[in-house]
Chain A
Amino acid sequence: MNIQDNYQKNKKNIFFSENKDIQTHREKLINIFQNDRFDKKNNESLKNINLKNFIDFKYKYLIPEETSVINNNQENSYSIVCVNGQCSSFKDDKIEITKILDEDYNDFSKNDTIENNDHFVNLNSLFLNSGFKIVIKKNNKIKIKISNIITDDGLTIFQKNNYICEEGSSLNLIEEYENKNNSTSNILNVIKLEKNSQLNHFLIQDNSPNHNLIITSHSSCKKDSTYTQKVYNFSEGYVRNFHYSELIETNSEVDLQGIFFLKDNNTSNNKTFVKHLAEDCKSNQVYKGILNDRSRATYFSNTHVDQVAQKTEGYQLSKGILLSDNASYFSKPELKIYADDVKCSHGSTIGPIDENAIFYLRSRGMSKIAATKILISSFINEELSSIDNEQMSEIIQKKLVRYLSKVK
């Protein structure tokens, strides 16, 4: 079924389909799909995937029978079970959770940082069927854990979430994606950090082979704010992690980290696009991958330093270990600098495990498999030891042990 027919057929289940402005925007998106020749060579959102599978899909969405649960466990700490992308409304003096509204959609659709040829974002806007908005109120320090549950096989979740950290607030956000059914989640997180706010965003991804997870996030940082994203991808199904970031006021910072553990035929696509639009801002990116069997990964990174963005610091680093001759990791960190007083660097190192290090460890009595595992662990040791949340550190360690148990 073509995209137009698919949309028309399922319109009644799609958010804001009665809104004229949104309808106009969606018509434009449909035109993009119909006119695009899907240039796989130049369009980074199309690398390593068969887009046809995602465009010719069977739309299925179920409004969850059980509403999501929001618990205020301890002071300033909340846990949310988000079912099929839906989250109940909640309000206290520190946070407010609501459904997303037409105005949130419009607000986002006017942003031009995300390229209009990112077809997964376009699909998200077109078939939007779930999502929520969380506002952290001024000067509050909050912890939120979100478990994302999908109830049925074959569901196609198109979810848009808005996170707003008001001035002086701080949010520690842990998101877990552990779906074992055959479904697709296409999620767009729009994150706004007001003056002097902070968001530490951890994403743990551990889905089964038939689950596709497409996460796109967009953060904008005002003066003295910091957005940190750490992604740990242990999924056996396809995962796409794209992040677009705008440092719009001085002394703001974005710190992006992604670690992925791939095996079998799995694919992980990663992309970042950081725009430095003000002075004294900092961006840091570290992406590391361990790839076994016939797995594949990409890391496309673009750091754009505007001519007004003097005193910028922008760093990009990607590293990969290929455990098999058939695994591949394509990395392309790019800098575009239009200011003259900046500190920027980019680098990429991908290769098999260091045979000299293996020999050294084995020469002390360690088996080859034990030496390989210890070198994999050491490869990501710096990132894992920097996790300051004990519970999360334990979760990641367990998943790492499980991944390593499959390494032969």
Chain B
Amino acid sequence: MFLEIKDLSVKIENKNILKSLNLNINKGEVHAIMGPNGSGKSTLANVLAGKEDYEILNGRINFKDNDLFDLNIEERAQEGMFLAFQYPVEIPGVNITPFLHSAINSKRKRKNKEEIDNLSFAKLLKSKASDLGINIDMLKRSVNTGFSGGEKKRYEILQMSILNPDLAILDETDSGLDIDALKIVTDGVNKLKTKDNSFLIITHYQKLLDYIKPDYVHVMVNGSIVKSGGSEIAAEIEEDGFQKFQ
């Protein structure tokens, strides 16, 4: 199993968010989690990425034969996990290019691979940016600083394509995107899909799933997955909303 979440319960500030959640993802699969506001979708994404604000009450998570709780935030990233943030953080003064260069090399270092030199990285970055319709001038700017909502999401996908993760978690990447930006972003995701990597896509709406075809769709309500199936579930939600699952 690539990612196995078993009986996971999580709380924050005395509020139980995830309740005995189970989810299995195999290599090469695309899973979508849909759910109403406050159902715990982003909490799940943050817990997987290692955010330390949460208290794990119960359960375990295995990722590529590692106990995920044994790995800190950066070790999870270096092992191949990537979270595309719902609200990417603005970091004035940290330039995008050296930041991404340092990120990719930290991952390669863990894998005992040779570091990428400046020139090769610049070429890689330029080519990936061009695929996503990102202006080269944007790469001279500080991380997410002064970006529009769409630019931030596009930049998340650029980072994802550079870091080439084994498991990418997209936390409401479609929110705040117009239809053209949504197409560019989802094209970027589809280009990255291989039989060796997996995606966990968190969304409210079926629209994103029109562009990225999931193998499985899960409905999350009140901290648990209440229904799993194929893409027909997304259509069902689009038709009837989440009410009937609550």
Footprint of B on A, CB under 8 Å? 354, 356-357, 359-368, 370, 374-375, 377-382
Asked whether any CB of chain A lies closer than 8 Å to the CB of B88, the reply is yes
| Closest chain A CB from B99 CB (angstroms) | 7
The reply to whether A365 and B77 contact each other, CB–CB distance below 8 Å, is: yes
Contacting chain A: which of B29-37, B102-110, B133-141, B237-245? B102-110
List 25 A-B pairs, Cβ < 8 Å.
A357-B89, A359-B51, A359-B52, A359-B73, A360-B88, A360-B91, A362-B72, A362-B74, A363-B49, A363-B50, A364-B77, A364-B103, A364-B159, A365-B77, A365-B110, A366-B102, A366-B103, A368-B74, A374-B94, A375-B94, A378-B91, A378-B92, A378-B94, A381-B93, A381-B94
- Which residue of chain B has its CB nearest to the CB of A377? B93
Kindly name the residue among A363, A374, A375 whose own CB sees the greatest number of chain B CB atoms within 10 A: A363
Known: A354-B89, A365-B106, A365-B107. 16 other contacts (CB 8 A): A356-B89, A359-B89, A360-B88, A360-B91, A360-B143, A362-B77, A363-B49, A363-B77, A365-B74, A366-B102, A375-B91, A375-B94, A378-B91, A378-B142, A380-B93, A381-B92
Asked whether any CB of chain A lies closer than 8 Å to the CB of B198, the reply is no
Contacts of A361 in B (CB 8 A): 91, 94, 99
The reply to whether A366 and B106 contact each other, CB–CB distance below 8 Å, is: yes
Contacts of B72 in A (CB 8 A): 362, 368
Residue in B83, B94, B99, B143 whose CB lies within 8 Å of A363? B83
Interchain residue pairs A-B with the least CB separation, the first 3: A378-B93, A381-B93, A362-B73
Contacts of A364 in B (CB 8 A): 77, 99-100, 103, 159, 163
Contacts of B83 in A (CB 8 A): 363
- Which residue of chain A has its CB nearest to the CB of B108? A365
| Closest chain B CB from A31 CB (angstroms) | 50
| Closest chain B CB from A384 CB (angstroms) | 9
Contacts of B102 in A (CB 8 A): 366, 370
The reply to whether A357 and B93 contact each other, CB–CB distance below 8 Å, is: no
- Which residue of chain B has its CB nearest to the CB of A379? B93
Contacts of A359 in B (CB 8 A): 49, 51-52, 73, 89
Q: Is the interface of A mostly helix, strand, loop or mixed?
A: helix
| Closest chain A CB from B45 CB (angstroms) | 10
| Closest chain A CB from B104 CB (angstroms) | 8
What is the size, in residues, of chain B's interface with A at 8 Å between Cβ atoms? 31
Which positions 157-198 of chain B face chain A at CB distance < 8 Å? Answer: 159, 163
- Which residue of chain B has its CB nearest to the CB of A382? B93
Asked whether any CB of chain A lies closer than 8 Å to the CB of B85, the reply is yes
Contacts of B92 in A (CB 8 A): 378, 381-382
The reply to whether B91 and A363 contact each other, CB–CB distance below 8 Å, is: no
Contacts of B51 in A (CB 8 A): 359
| Closest chain B CB from A404 CB (angstroms) | 14
The reply to whether B99 and A374 contact each other, CB–CB distance below 8 Å, is: yes
- Which residue of chain A has its CB nearest to the CB of B79? A365
- Which residue of chain A has its CB nearest to the CB of B105? A365
How many Å lie between the Cα of A176 and that of B238 in the bound state?
Answer: 69
Given known A365-B106, A366-B102, A366-B103, contact A360–B77 (CB-CB < 8 A): no
| Closest chain B CB from A194 CB (angstroms) | 38
Contacts of B103 in A (CB 8 A): 364-366
Contacts of B203 in A (CB 8 A): none
| Closest chain A CB from B150 CB (angstroms) | 19
Asked whether any CB of chain A lies closer than 8 Å to the CB of B224, the reply is no
Given known A365-B107, A375-B94, contact A360–B89 (CB-CB < 8 A): yes
How many Å lie between the Cα of A378 and that of B99 in the bound state?
Answer: 12
Asked whether any CB of chain A lies closer than 8 Å to the CB of B78, the reply is yes
The reply to whether B91 and A357 contact each other, CB–CB distance below 8 Å, is: yes
Contacts of A354 in B (CB 8 A): 89
How many Å lie between the Cα of A362 and that of B73 in the bound state?
Answer: 6
